[in-house]
């Protein structure tokens, strides 16, 4: 589960970040509204903790743009007492929860957990399907429905294949794949992408699937059926 904190008070951001990391969440931080908006629009976060008063672009505008871009990330707004009135004015519409500063960090963690559990309950799908492929989420097992052959996939292979299957017949860029599979601030492993794609192609072949991962020059990759 990946969380983005958009908060210009660095000390507060870092306190939140280290507490959330202890809860085994992956956390990224943005210290101004412009960076925060860019990160938020990547769509890779399960939850965003969003301060309202921020340099460059305020939290309410960021929230608006997240929703306009149909990103369904959970959002918890942080407000100062004086901004509470904004809630009554409906400016937080689209937020899932809000907290008034100052708050206890335990309270924030509890609310984050509630939001993310709700989110998981909504995503009960155990299987993702694309063409003749069925990916079993719990067992990390890939089934070809025409041959009935199965094969296990590793963790990164799973994330990569899941993303390609969710976007079947759509070109996804390398950057999108890096963000989704390795995380936005992590470039160390990302040049292994070719290797993981090659593992996946071998596995598709092994189960005799009609699905292929096509490299499209300068653009990215596409999961599609063989011609
Ligand atoms: Ca602030």
Higher pLDDT, 43 or 19: 19
The SS3 assignment for 29 reads strand
For residue 7, the CA-to-ligand 1 centroid distance in Å is 6
**Residue 139: domain span:** 127-225
For residue 149, the CA-to-ligand 1 centroid distance in Å is 54
For residue 70, the CA-to-ligand 1 centroid distance in Å is 25
What tens digit of pLDDT does each residue of 139-190 get?
889 999 999 999 999 888 998 999 999 899 999 998 888 877 877 656 555 4
Here the CATH number for the domain that contains residue 167 is 1.10.10.10
For residue 19, the CA-to-ligand 1 centroid distance in Å is 19
- Check: CB of residue 63 under 8 Å from CB of residue 43: no
Q: How many domains does the chain have?
A: 2
Residues 94 and 147 in one domain: no
What tens digit of pLDDT does each residue of 109-134 get?
999 998 888 666 555 567 889 999 99
Residue 218 pLDDT more than 80? yes
Residues 51 and 161 in one domain: no
Q: Is the full-model pTM beyond 0.85?
A: no
**Percentages (nearest 5) of helix, strand, coil residues in the chain:** 40, 25, 35
């Amino acid at each position: 589960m990946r969380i983005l904190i958009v908060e210009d008070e660095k000390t507060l951001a870092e306190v939140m970040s280290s507490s959330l990391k202890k809860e085994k969440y992956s956390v990224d931080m943005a210290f101004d509204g412009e960076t925060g908006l860019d990160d938020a629009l990547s769509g890779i976060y399960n939850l965003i903790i969003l301060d309202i008063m921020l340099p460059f672009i305020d939290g309410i505008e960021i929230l608006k743009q997240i929703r306009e871009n149909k990103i369904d990330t959970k959002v918890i707004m942080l407000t100062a007492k004086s901004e509470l009135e904004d809630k009554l004015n409906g400016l937080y519409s689209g937020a899932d929860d809000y907290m008034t500063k100052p708050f206890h960090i335990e309270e924030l963690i509890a609310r984050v957990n509630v939001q993310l559990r709700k989110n998981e309950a909504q995503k009960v799908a155990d299987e993702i399907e694309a063409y003749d492929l069925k990916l079993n989420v719990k067992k990390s097992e890939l089934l070809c429905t025409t041959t009935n052959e199965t094969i296990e996939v590793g963790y990164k292979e799973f994330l990569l294949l899941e993303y390609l299957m969710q976007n079947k017949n759509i070109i996804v860029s390398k950057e999108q794949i890096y963000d989704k599979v390795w995380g936005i601030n992590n470039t160390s492993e990302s040049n292994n992408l070719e290797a993981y794609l090659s593992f996946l192609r071998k596995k598709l072949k092994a189960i005799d699937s009609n699905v292929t991962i096509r490299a499209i020059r300068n653009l990215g990759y596409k999961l599609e059926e063989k011609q």
